[in-house]
Chains A and B, each alone.
Chain A
Amino acid sequence: MTAPSSPPADESAWPLLPRERTWGAARLTLTLATTAAATWCYLIGESVGNYLGFIKGGLALGAGCMLGMVLVLLAAGPTCVRFGIDSVAATKPQFGSRGWVVPAALQAVSIIGWNSLLIIFFAKSAVQLSLALGILDAKWRNAALVPALTVLACMIIFTALRRGATGVSIVANILVAHVFIGLWMLYLLVSHRWPELIAAQPLMANPKPLWNYTTGVELGIGATLSWWPYIGAMIRMAPNGRTIVLPVMLGMAAPVPVLSLIGLAGALVLKSSDPTEWLRVVGGPTYAIISLTFVTAANFGTTTAGIYASAIGLRNFAILQRRSWTTLLLLTIAPVALVGIFIPELFFAKFGNFLALIGVAFAPLCGIQIVDYFILRRGHIELRALYIDAPGRPYYFWRGINPAALIALAAGCLTYVAFLNPLSYESMALYPYLTASLPAAAVAALVYFLGSLAVIRAGRGGYPRGCMAAGVASVPESKL
């Protein structure tokens, strides 16, 4: 009897060896930029356009996106890039050798949810594009075409991802042009409608200017915090920390506010963030076709990267470690396809609210990871312990779960909702001065720090000796 063969390195959740991390800064930048640029940029821009004008909104969003991205980079970056592991595996030192399923569930729901939305966007755009090009007759019903195109898109993504991370990179190489098309679209709108753009007033502005400004910043922070589930699977392909910083900050964070300006400008001037609609107004049907191509390509690239990241995340489950890559891809794509086939309109209408609620968890998660890595562990991660779920091992805590992390996560989420209700946008008095994501991350970090004092006193968690003034001995390295 022969043992089942191990999956290729980039199709597993196991640490990538330095020689396997072949993505340089340019390749990583290109892949991250293609991943970041998608329909959500218009939605983010439109949301900001409800509260702020073009210049103020663009600058607030830009500031928020860069702040959010640096939090994600500090949280997931060090562990992922040092050991070549994904975002979910990097949470084991905080949540425990079993507790990591909580961030894994957040990742799965967030990515599958977003992918479903984007793939439905993709299918709708493809239908519109086909109609505009005369490939389809207008009498065709979208209700039948959207599910069919969803399945087609899933099949193409599945085929591309059979090659693992290389498939993500190939798709990014092909689709990166859409980022430049997006910039061209922005130039068109700005150059054609500049006076109107500057004069336009947001429709839903709060009487308090600071509240509006902070909301613009918060939307930016929230947008880039939602990259947490994606980032590990990408940056693990790079050889070291130095290689990832500029690609992440310039390739993944910067395109979001820039391309969001398309939605912001459209919402302010033409009261529509949909570039297809306003490019038809500005430049006629040819421009509309170009923009539809952009939308179609943009969502396709993001979904490919998302499904790859999600599949790698699932690999952390012991039961899936030996399954074929094909099985894993099917498990990841199936929910997206089923949503697109059976409930595309319902999902489109309702799931955004659920995603908004899920999104509040990423700020606390980042706060927990940052305080754990930089303050409590001071960069000391036991790589072997990430893969051992047994009593007495550093990340076993209590039955594989670190209660300090779960309590801190809950405290952070409650703090976020107290500062800003993500559905109603009701806020507390301090929100305009602090945002909601930053206090949520800070509270989670503080609660985690305090909870960890008790964990360290109990000798759990594999913290390095003398990491706290209390100086209680933790599990020594020799016990590995």
Chain B
Amino acid sequence: MTDPAAGHGPLPAPLLPPDLEARLAAFESAAPPAGFDAASWFWMLLLGVALPLGLLVLGWRA
């Protein structure tokens, strides 16, 4: 018995709702959407790592 997931043949495209299909096509035809940029990482490191560490030290000494 073979598992379809393990095969490597081409798979028929499943039918999706037209609106969803249009949305997916729009994403696929454009450049990949941006995630976090350098500024995002800076603020995340500052507010999510450096600030908590600073607060921890400050609080422990208080």
Q: Taking beta carbons and an 8 Å cutoff, which residues of A are in contact with B?
A: 3, 6, 14-15, 17-18, 55-56, 58-60, 62-64, 66-67, 69-70, 73-74, 77-78, 81-83, 213, 216-217, 240-242, 244-246, 249-250, 253, 321-322, 379, 383-384, 387-388, 390-393, 396-398, 458-460, 475-476, 478-479
Contact = CB atoms under 8 A, between A and B. Distances in A.
Contact of B4 (A17, A244, A391): A391
Interface in B3-58: 3-8, 10-11, 14, 16-20, 23-24, 26-28, 32-37, 39-40, 43-44, 47-49, 51-53, 55-56, 58
Range of interface residues on chain B?
35 or more
A217 B56 contact: yes
B48 A66 contact: yes
B20 A387 contact: yes
Contacts of B40: 241-242, 244-245
B37 A242 contact: yes
Contacts of A241: 34-37, 40
Contacts of B62: 55-56, 59
Contact of A240 (B17, B34, B43): B34
Nearest to A57: B59
Contacts of A240: 33-35, 37
Nearest to A16: B23
B3 to A, nearest CB: 7
A399 to B, nearest CB: 9
Given A14-B19, A321-B17, A66 B51 contact: yes
Closest 8 CB pairs of A and B: A70-B48, A59-B59, A6-B19, A391-B4, A63-B55, A241-B36, A63-B52, A249-B47
A356 to B, nearest CB: 23
A63 B56 contact: yes
Nearest to A77: B36
Contacts of B4: 391-392
A366 to B, nearest CB: 12
Contacts of A67: 48-49, 52
Given A70-B47, A242-B36, A392 B59 contact: no
Nearest to A399: B5
A59 to B, nearest CB: 3
Given A14-B19, A392-B4, A398-B5, A73 B58 contact: no
A391 B3 contact: yes
Contacts of A244: 40
Contacts of A253: 47
B44 A390 contact: no
Contact of A17 (B3, B11, B23, B43): B23
Contact of A249 (B3, B43, B60): B43
A387 B52 CA distance: 38
Contact of A384 (B17, B28, B44): B28
Given A66-B48, A240-B35, A246-B43, 17 more contacts: A14-B20, A15-B23, A17-B27, A59-B56, A60-B55, A67-B49, A70-B44, A70-B48, A83-B27, A240-B37, A241-B40, A245-B39, A245-B40, A379-B35, A387-B20, A459-B5, A475-B5
8 contacts: A66-B51, A216-B59, A242-B36, A383-B28, A387-B24, A397-B5, A459-B5, A475-B5
Contacts of B59: 55-56, 58-60, 62-63, 213, 216
A390 B14 contact: yes
B20 A245 contact: no
A62 B48 CA distance: 10
B16 to A, nearest CB: 6
Given A14-B23, A387-B24, A479 B16 contact: no
Given A59-B55, A63-B55, A83-B33, A73 B44 contact: yes
A391 B5 contact: yes
A396 B36 contact: no
B56 A60 contact: yes
B43 A392 contact: no
A253 B51 CA distance: 12
A395 to B, nearest CB: 11
A66 B52 contact: yes
Contact of A396 (B5, B7, B19, B24): B5
A268 B51 CA distance: 26
Nearest to A3: B18
Contact of A15 (B7, B27, B52, B58): B27
B12 to A, nearest CB: 9
A383 B6 CA distance: 21
Contacts of A390: 11, 14
A250 B47 contact: yes
Given A213-B60, A388-B14, A66 B55 contact: yes
